[in-house]
C-alpha cells in the first residue's frame, strides 16, 4: 500500500468512533502493542526531546525504503507513533520526505502537533522525514 | 453525611457566578478547572476594574500635569497602598511592582548579588524550589564565583530543618525558599527559617507565589527580608506581581533596570537615582495590572482569608481521601502542613497520558515536572499529575476528578 492508501485506511477506521474516549482506547491499545525499540537504540542521540514525554526514534535503510522503530514512556504518545510508523514504515525514502500527512488532521490529532502540547510529535514527524531525506 | 457543598464559610454559588469562565465548556464538557497552581481564573470584579480604568482613567502616571494623569496616578498609588495593607508592609515604598514572581527574584538575585555576593560565598535554596528560584541564583553565583547550596527534603516532602541548620555558615549570604511548594503543596516553616537566619544576620527571600492565594501574609510577622509573588495566581491579572523588600536592604541595593521613572536627575556624565519604590520601577508600569491586582486583593479580603483557607482545606482533605481509594494511585507530597495541591501518580501510567484523558473529560489539571525538574529527578519520577484547588472549586469538582482519574487508570493500566 502507498502512504496515502494507508492514511485513508486509518481515517476510515477512526470514522467509527463517536467520541474521544473511544479514540483514546484505540490509540492506547496500539501503544501497548507497539513493538519495543531495541534497548541499544534508546540512547540520548535517538531521543526526541519533548516537554512532557520522551520519545526515541530509530531508522534503517533497506533497499531504498526506510524502516522505523520507536518508543515512548507515555502510552498515548506511543499509540500515535504507532500510527505514524504504520503510515511511513517500509515506504520509499523520497515519498516519506515529500508526502503530506493529512490523516493527522482528519482523525482529530492535530492538536497533538501543536508546540504548546509539547509532546514531541511535531519533532517526531520532522525527524522521520529527516531520516528519510538522509537515507534517500 | 456529606457536608454542604464547598465546606464552610464561603458562599460558593455566589463565588462561582463571579468567574465567567467557569460556566464555559472544554472539549464539549463543563469545564472543571483544577489548575490554580499554574494560574487562577479571574472574577468579574478584577476584569471590570481593569476595564473601567482603561475606559475612564488611563494616562501615564507620575508625569502629567493634567487631571487625568493625576487620577491615574492616584489609582495606581492607591493600589500600592492596598498591597501594603495586604502583606502588612511597614511602608508603602517597600512595595515594588514587578511583572511577577520570576521578575521579583531576578531583581533581587541580580541587584543583591552584584552588591553582596563575592567569590566563595554561598546562596542557600531548597530542593523543592521552582526553576524561578533556582536559575536566577545560579546566574548570580556564576557572575560572583559563589556557590549554590541546596537544603534537602524528607520522604514526606518537608524541608530537612536539621540539615538546614547545619548548612548555614559564615559564607551564607542569602537564603531563598518557597513559602508553599507548587509541586508538593508543602507549607514551609518560614518563621523558623527567618528566626534562625536573623540571629546570623542573613537575609531571607521568600517565594510566595503559591502562598498568597491561600494564606494571610504578614511580612513583618514572618520577618521576611524579601517576599515575592504574582497577581495571576491569586485571581488577578497576568504579567503583574510584587516584590516586598525591607527598606534598608532596598536602599542599599543598586537599581536593576535603568530607564524612565527610576532616575532623579539624568545627564550624559552622571545619573542619580530616584527614591524607593521608583528606583526599582524603570519604565511605564503596568498601571491596569496594579489596579487589577488590588481588585483581586479586595476580592480575597471580602471573602476572607480564613474562609478561603478553610474551604480549600476541605477540598484538600476530601480530595486526598477520595483519590487514595484508587488502588494504583500514590500521592506525591505528604507534608503535615499542606496547601490545596494534590500531586499524584498512577502506577504504570505516564502523567501525560492521565492528563490527556482528563482533558477530554473537561478536567484541567497540570501534568509534568511543574518547573521543578531537580525535585522530580530527586524523587526519581518523570513528573506528576497535579490538581490544585481555588476558592471557586467544589466537592463536586473533586468527584468529577476522582471519577476521571479512576477511568484513566482503568484505560491505561
> Is residue B326 over pLDDT 50?
yes
Per residue in A72-102, is it b (16+ CB within 10 Å) or e — as a string? bebbbbbbbbbbbbbbbbebbbebbbebebe
Is there a contact between B239 and B98 (Cβ–Cβ < 8 Å)? no
Q: Does residue B168 sit in helix, strand or coil?
A: coil
Is there a contact between B175 and B204 (Cβ–Cβ < 8 Å)? yes
Chain A residue nearest residue B27, CA to CA: A20
| A74 vs B contacts (CB less than 8 Å) | 350, 352-353
Q: Who among B27, B357, B368 is closest to A51 (CB)? A: B368
| Total domains, chain A | 1
Which residues, 6+ apart, have CB-to-CB distance to A63 below 8 Å?
Answer: none
Is there a contact between A111 and A104 (Cβ–Cβ < 8 Å)? no
CA-based radius of gyration for chain A: 14
Q: What is the mean pLDDT of chain B?
A: 95
More confident residue, B188 or A80: B188
- Using the beta-carbon criterion (under 8 Å), do A52 and B412 form an inter-chain contact? no
Which residues, 6+ apart, have CB-to-CB distance to A23 below 8 Å?
Answer: A14, A17, A107, A108
Average confidence (pLDDT) over B364-380: 92
Chain B residue nearest residue A73, CA to CA: B350
Q: In angstroms, what separates the C-alpha of B351 from chain A's closest C-alpha?
A: 8
Question: How confident is the model at residue B281, as a pLDDT?
Answer: 97
Question: How confident is the model at residue A42, as a pLDDT?
Answer: 78
User: Does B352 lie at the interface with A, CB-CB under 8 angstroms?
Assistant: yes
Question: How confident is the model at residue A119, as a pLDDT?
Answer: 58
| B383 vs A contacts (CB less than 8 Å) | 52
Dihedral of the alpha carbons of B107, B91, B241, B173, in degrees to the nearest 10: 30
Q: In angstroms, what separates the C-alpha of B360 from chain A's closest C-alpha?
A: 7
B:14-73 residues touching chain A, CB 8 A cutoff:
27
Question: How confident is the model at residue B316, as a pLDDT?
Answer: 98
**Catalytic residue from among B342, B371, B375, B400:** B371
Distances (CA, A) of B383 to B11, B315, B349, B376: 35, 23, 11, 6
- Using the beta-carbon criterion (under 8 Å), do A76 and B367 form an inter-chain contact? no
Q: Who among B357, B382, B383 is closest to A24 (CB)? A: B357
Place of cell 481555588: B390
Distances (CA, A) of B15 to A84, B302, B314, B381, B387: 46, 11, 16, 36, 20
Average confidence (pLDDT) over A58-81: 89
A63 dihedral zone (left: phi>0; alpha: psi -120 to 50; beta): left
In a 13 Å sphere around the CA of B94, the CA atoms on its Cβ side amount to 21
Chain B residue nearest residue A28, CA to CA: B412
Q: Which of A109-118, B213-222, B386-395, B402-411 has the lowest mean pLDDT?
A: A109-118
Q: What is the pLDDT of residues B50-96, one digit of tens each?
A: 999 999 999 999 988 899 999 999 999 999 999 999 999 999 999 99
Question: How confident is the model at residue A117, as a pLDDT?
Answer: 59
- Name the residue among B312, B303, B317, B309 with its Cα closest to residue B2: B317
For the domain spanning B12-30+304-412, the CATH number is 3.90.1150.10
Chain A residue nearest residue B404, CA to CA: A21
> Is this prediction's ipTM beyond 0.90?
no
Domain boundaries, chain B: 12-30+304-412, 48-302
How is residue B47 written as a grid cell? 476584569
Average confidence (pLDDT) over B338-347: 97
**CATH number, domain with residue A32:** 3.90.1010.10
- Name the residue among B216, B139, B140 with its Cα closest to residue B179: B216
> Is residue B369 over pLDDT 90?
no
User: Does B362 lie at the interface with A, CB-CB under 8 angstroms?
Assistant: no
- Using the beta-carbon criterion (under 8 Å), do A24 and B356 form an inter-chain contact? yes
Q: What is the pLDDT of residues B158-195, one digit of tens each?
A: 999 999 999 999 999 999 999 999 999 999 999 999 99
> Is residue B231 over pLDDT 60?
yes
- Using the beta-carbon criterion (under 8 Å), do B411 and A53 form an inter-chain contact? no
DSSP state of B284: S
Distances (CA, A) of B104 to A18, B60, B92, B133: 49, 23, 17, 10
Distances (CA, A) of B362 to B127, B324, B397, B407: 33, 22, 11, 13
Burial of B114 (0-12, 13-18, 19+ CB in 10 A): middle
Question: How confident is the model at residue B2, as a pLDDT?
Answer: 38
- Using the beta-carbon criterion (under 8 Å), do B368 and A119 form an inter-chain contact? no
Other CB atoms closer than 10 Å to residue B259's CB: what's the count? 12
Q: What is the pLDDT of residues B233-283, one digit of tens each?
A: 999 999 999 999 999 999 999 999 999 889 999 999 999 999 999 999 999
Question: How confident is the model at residue A46, as a pLDDT?
Answer: 79
- Using the beta-carbon criterion (under 8 Å), do A52 and B349 form an inter-chain contact? no
H-type alpha helices, B258-286: none
The CATH architecture annotation of domain B48-302 reads: 3-Layer(aba) Sandwich (3.40)
Q: What is the pLDDT of residues B128-155, one digit of tens each?
A: 999 999 999 999 999 999 999 999 999 9
Q: In angstroms, what separates the C-alpha of B160 from chain A's closest C-alpha?
A: 29
Q: What is the pLDDT of residues B86-119, one digit of tens each?
A: 999 999 999 999 999 999 999 999 999 999 999 9
- Using the beta-carbon criterion (under 8 Å), do A28 and B412 form an inter-chain contact? yes
Q: Who among B355, B383, B411 is closest to A28 (CB)? A: B411
Which residues, 6+ apart, have CB-to-CB distance to B60 below 8 Å?
Answer: B69, B72, B284, B287
Domain that includes residue A122, residue range: 3-135
Chain B residue nearest residue A52, CA to CA: B368
- Using the beta-carbon criterion (under 8 Å), do A73 and B368 form an inter-chain contact? no
Q: What is the pLDDT of residues A93-116, one digit of tens each?
A: 999 999 999 998 899 887 766 655
> Is residue A50 over pLDDT 50?
yes
Per residue in B226-240, is it b (16+ CB within 10 Å) or e — as a string? bbbbbbbbbbbbbbb
Amino acid at each position: 500500500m502507498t502512504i496515502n492508501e494507508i492514511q485513508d485506511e486509518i481515517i476510515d477506521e477512526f470514522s467509527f468512533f463517536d467520541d474521544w474516549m473511544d479514540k483514546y482506547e484505540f490509540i492506547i491499545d496500539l501503544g501497548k502493542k507497539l513493538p519495543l525499540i531495541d534497548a541499544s537504540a534508546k540512547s540520548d542521540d535517538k531521543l526526541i526531546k519533548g516537554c512532557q514525554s520522551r520519545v526515541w526514534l530509530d531508522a534503517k535503510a533497506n533497499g531504498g525504503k526506510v524502516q522505523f522503530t520507536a518508543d515512548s514512556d507515555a502510552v498515548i504518545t506511543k499509540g500515535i507513533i504507532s500510527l505514524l510508523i504504520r503510515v511511513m514504515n517500509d515506504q520509499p525514502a523520497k515519498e516519506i520526505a515529500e508526502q503530506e500527512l493529512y490523516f493527522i488532521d482528519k482523525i482529530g490529532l492535530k492538536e497533538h502537533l501543536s508546540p504548546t502540547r509539547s509532546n514531541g510529535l511535531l519533532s517526531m514527524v520532522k525527524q522521520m522525514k529527516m531520516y528519510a531525506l538522509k537515507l534517500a | 453525611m456529606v457536608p454542604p457543598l464547598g465546606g464552610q464559610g464561603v458562599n460558593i454559588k455566589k463565588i462561582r457566578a463571579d468567574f465567567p469562565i467557569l460556566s464555559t465548556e472544554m472539549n464539549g464538557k463543563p469545564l472543571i478547572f483544577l489548575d490554580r497552581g499554574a494560574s487562577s481564573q479571574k472574577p468579574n470584579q478584577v476584569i471590570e476594574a481593569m476595564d473601567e480604568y482603561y475606559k475612564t482613567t488611563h494616562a501615564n502616571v507620575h508625569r502629567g500635569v493634567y487631571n487625568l494623569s493625576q487620577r491615574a496616578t492616584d489609582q495606581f498609588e492607591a493600589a500600592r497602598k492596598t498591597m501594603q495593607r495586604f502583606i502588612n508592609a511597614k511602608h508603602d515604598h517597600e512595595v515594588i511592582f514587578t511583572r511577577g514572581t520570576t521578575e521579583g527574584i531576578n531583581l533581587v538575585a541580580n541587584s543583591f548579588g552584584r552588591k553582596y555576593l563575592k567569590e566563595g560565598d554561598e546562596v542557600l535554596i531548597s530542593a523543592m524550589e521552582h526553576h524561578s528560584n533556582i536559575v536566577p541564583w545560579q546566574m548570580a553565583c556564576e557572575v560572583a564565583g559563589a556557590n549554590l547550596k541546596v537544603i534537602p527534603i524528607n520522604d514526606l516532602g518537608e524541608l530537612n530543618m536539621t540539615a538546614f541548620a547545619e548548612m548555614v555558615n559564615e559564607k551564607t549570604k542569602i537564603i531563598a525558599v518557597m513559602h508553599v511548594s507548587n509541586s508538593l503543596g508543602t507549607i514551609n516553616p518560614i518563621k523558623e527559617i527567618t528566626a534562625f537566619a536573623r540571629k546570623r544576620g542573613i537575609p531571607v527571600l521568600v517565594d510566595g507565589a503559591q502562598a498568597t492565594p491561600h494564606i494571610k501574609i504578614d511580612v513583618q510577622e514572618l520577618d521576611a527580608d524579601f517576599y515575592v509573588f504574582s497577581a495571576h495566581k491569586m485571581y488577578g491579572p497576568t504579567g503583574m506581581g510584587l516584590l516586598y523588600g525591607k527598606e534598608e536592604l532596598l536602599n542599599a541595593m543598586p537599581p536593576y533596570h535603568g530607564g524612565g521613572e527610576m532616575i532623579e536627575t539624568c545627564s550624559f556624565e552622571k545619573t542619580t537615582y530616584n527614591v524607593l519604590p521608583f528606583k526599582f520601577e524603570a519604565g511605564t508600569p503596568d498601571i491596569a495590572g496594579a489596579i487589577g491586582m488590588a481588585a483581586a486583593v479586595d476580592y480575597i479580603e471580602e471573602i476572607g482569608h480564613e474562609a478561603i483557607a478553610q474551604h480549600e482545606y476541605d477540598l484538600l482533605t476530601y480530595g486526598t481521601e477520595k483519590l487514595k481509594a484508587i488502588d494504583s494511585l500514590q500521592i506525591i507530597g505528604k507534608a503535615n502542613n499542606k496547601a490545596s495541591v494534590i500531586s499524584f501518580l498512577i502506577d504504570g501510567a505516564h502523567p501525560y497520558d492521565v492528563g490527556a484523558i482528563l482533558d477530554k473529560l473537561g478536567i484541567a489539571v497540570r501534568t509534568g515536572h511543574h518547573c521543578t525538574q531537580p525535585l522530580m529527578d530527586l524523587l526519581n519520577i518523570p513528573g506528576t499529575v497535579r490538581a490544585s484547588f481555588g476558592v471557586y472549586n467544589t466537592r463536586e469538582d473533586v468527584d468529577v476528578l476522582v471519577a476521571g482519574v479512576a477511568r484513566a487508570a482503568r484505560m491505561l493500566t
